Structure 1
Amino acid sequence: MIIERAYAAVDPHHEDAWPWDLPCVRDLLADGLRFAAPVTFLVGENGSGKSTLAEALAEGFGLDSWGGSHDWRYAAHRPKSPLGERIRFEAAPRGRRMMGSWSARKGFFLRAETALDALAREGFAPDSVSHGEGFLAAFRHKFLQPGLYVMDEPEAALSFGSCLELLGHIDELAKKGGQVICATHSPLLTALPGADIVEVGEHGMRRSTWDELALVDHWRRYLTDPQAYLRHVLD
């Protein structure tokens, strides 16, 4: 574990504006977010704020919001998000040296829509492989050292088999002392044994188990009887 808790503070005059009005951000402001395992999954519907959280956590650690490793800080010349500017961390015992020195920090932020561009900046030739293979290249070549690895919907470009490979990389990275925070819609990824699952929604943030996740329930129902869902969306 690198970090044990993330928290933030904001001027009360701004609390009614985005992103401060998101329920999950309100929970972060009130109580912070504690990390109970080396791998944490943030799960929620589109618009719930899980990607906003993931990006802010990456920025707070010093990773470029455009995506990439710690050595490529702010290559896209984008300012930090309002939440990312205010994120602070409480380090775990083994993470204190890393958090105490900017040069000692290691990590990578992978976001679905900019992953290949980030890899290209770091010397990888994404044009030579498929989109999914480009994602897996990051996992194979960049997710190696103990550090903080933040991912935003990495399953977007991956097949079922590639998601399983990703799961193996995540597990191996955690065993080597890395810490992973992943925003996802994937019931496959969230099934990783020992992972901590935080469900994000109108309720804010709450711990959940894989069996209790709404997304797992919906996938089970859909695979059992697709027509039960399709009749509501198809003419």
Structure 2
Amino acid sequence: MEALPYLREIVLKRDQINDLGRYPFSIPAVRELDALEFAPDVTFFVGENGSGKSTLMEAIAVALGFNAEGGTKNFNFDTRASHSSLHQHLKTVKSYQRPRDGFFLRAESYFNLATNIEELDQNDPDSLWPPPPPVIDYYGGVSLHEQSHGESFLALMLHRFGGKGLYLLDEPEAALSPTRQLAVLSRMHQLVGDSSQFIIATHSPILLAYPGAWIYQIDSTGISRVNYEDTEHYAVTKAFLNNPEKMLDELFRE
């Protein structure tokens, strides 16, 4: 039996839900969910804003023991308790082997994560001997607030992601240039080669191109697995780059 994927499947515990008409069960992606399998290496969620990608990612992360606002399982800061109850209704089917590393990245709360790291390092370590190394050392040694969002995220992947891990990323491309997205793809490939698994919600046609990845389309009908070339992200980007003048003419036509 293969160790990967560390997270094999999630199952919605429908018998525990009294009302499928209330949030978050009213979201089609959740309402139509029964069981969802994950690839051994990379699984993507794609869909329009509001389709439920982040709600599903958050619920999976919390069900696995991660902090709702991001970080490792050791983080417990809570800036604003806004996550849904969906995690309470998910059954996680895991591998016999646990990952050695793990991280949940949320683009929308990354600032809060960086702030919490600084707060942890400001605590008085005198009660511990020998004193532990600063938390920021595990993230490259430079304050995440003193770097651009894109630079700090790359520092996270290069220094904190150590391999043999389960990494959940919610819209990681938010502050990344196309060149930096390619750098993320390269680092992902290194980590996958070191027995890591990624689950990623994204709008990026660059990240979606990862070879062999499973892509789940989330829309008003629920969740379905699609090919890369069949995603709207690929089709729209390709159409625009092939003939930007024509598409702009269509967009600006009165």
Q: Same fold (TM over 0.5)?
A: yes
**Of residues 1, 4, 9 in structure 1, which corresponds to 2:8?**
4
- The whole-number CA distance in structure 2 between the counterparts of 1:73 and 1:142 is 18
Q: Is the 8 A contact 2:24 2:84 kept in 1?
A: no
- The whole-number CA distance in structure 1 between the counterparts of 2:194 and 2:101 is 13
Structure 1 ranges of 4+ moved more than 6 A: none
Gaps of 5+ in 1: 99-104
Question: What residue number does 2:202 align with?
Answer: 184
Question: What residue number does 1:18 align with?
Answer: 23
Note if 1:78 corresponds to 2:81: yes
- The whole-number CA distance in structure 2 between the counterparts of 1:154 and 1:214 is 19
CA 74–145 in structure 1, closer or farther in 2 if over 3 Å, else same? farther
State the TM-score, normalized to the length of structure 1: 0.87
The code of the aligned residue for 2:106 comes to: R
Give the CA deviation at 1:12. 4.0
State the TM-score, normalized to the length of structure 2: 0.81
Note if 1:225 corresponds to 2:229: no
Note if 1:45 corresponds to 2:40: no
Identity %: 36
- The whole-number CA distance in structure 1 between the counterparts of 2:101 and 2:76 is 12
- The whole-number CA distance in structure 2 between the counterparts of 1:80 and 1:157 is 23
Give the CA deviation at 1:182. 0.3
Question: What residue number does 1:117 align with?
Answer: 112
Question: What residue number does 1:213 align with?
Answer: 231
The code of the aligned residue for 1:13 comes to: N
Question: What residue number does 1:147 align with?
Answer: 165
Question: What residue number does 2:125 align with?
Answer: none
**Of residues 53, 70, 73 in structure 2, which corresponds to 1:67?**
70
SS in 2 for 1:94: coil
Give the CA deviation at 1:81. 2.2
Question: What residue number does 1:102 align with?
Answer: none
- The whole-number CA distance in structure 2 between the counterparts of 1:88 and 1:136 is 32
Alignment RMSD, CA only? 2.0
The code of the aligned residue for 2:192 comes to: A
The code of the aligned residue for 1:108 comes to: F
Give the CA deviation at 1:213. 1.0
Q: Is the 8 A contact 2:69 2:106 kept in 1?
A: yes
Greater mean alpha carbon deviation, residues 178-187 or residues 108-117: 108-117
The code of the aligned residue for 2:8 comes to: E
The code of the aligned residue for 1:24 comes to: A
> CA offsets per residue over residues 104-139 of structure 1, 9 Å max, x none?
x74111111222331342343123211110111111
Question: What residue number does 1:27 align with?
Answer: 32
Note if 1:55 corresponds to 2:50: no
CA 138–116 in structure 1, closer or farther in 2 if over 3 Å, else same? farther
